[in-house]
Structure formats: C-alpha cells, structure tokens
Amino acid sequence: MNYYVYYKVPAHQVDSLRPRVQALFAAIREQCGVQGRWMHRRDDPVTYMEVYEDVRDAARFEALLAREGAALGLERHVERFVPA
C-alpha cells in the first residue's frame, strides 16, 4: 500500500519544519522499514506531501504515522492507494 500525506506549510515555517520531517522519516524508516519522500507542489509552494511506498504492515505504519505526524502540529490529510 502507498500513502500520500499532504498539508499546507506557510513559507516562513518550512526551514523549521524540515528537521522535524526528517526525524519523522527516520522514525518510520527505523520502525517500519519504509523511506519517506518530501515534496511540494510545483504550482503551489505551500502545499507539501510526504510519500510512503510499499508499506507492508499498514496497522503499525498508520499508528506510527498518526503519533509522530501529530507532533508536526499541522492539519494533515492521509490518502491510501493500492495497485489497480
């Protein structure tokens, strides 16, 4: 299963958010074996997305994502996709 998490980040908060997102990625990689990627929309520089692909243990991943993601203090939207 693939996860796509998107949210808005005011431009003045990006630099302070970056190390917190990197810490989130490190925790997920360590505990779930999944490496996240951080991107922003090309046409909307305040919309950011975390991408997690090939998640094997959805329950464990989602619990960790909810717990660690809440620490970012942003309204986050999680989408789940599976192969068609």
pLDDT in tens, the chain (84 residues): 999 999 999 999 999 999 999 999 999 999 999 999 999 999 999 999 999 999 999 999 999 999 999 999 999 999 999 999
Residue 64 carries which side chain, given as an amino acid letter? Answer: L
Long-range contacts of 78-83 (CB under 8 A, 24+ apart): 78/3, 78/4, 78/5, 79/3, 79/4, 79/5, 79/6, 80/1, 80/2, 80/3, 80/4, 81/1, 81/2, 81/3, 81/4, 82/1, 82/2
Overall fold of domain 2-81: Alpha-Beta Plaits (3.30.70)
The pLDDT of residue 27 is 95
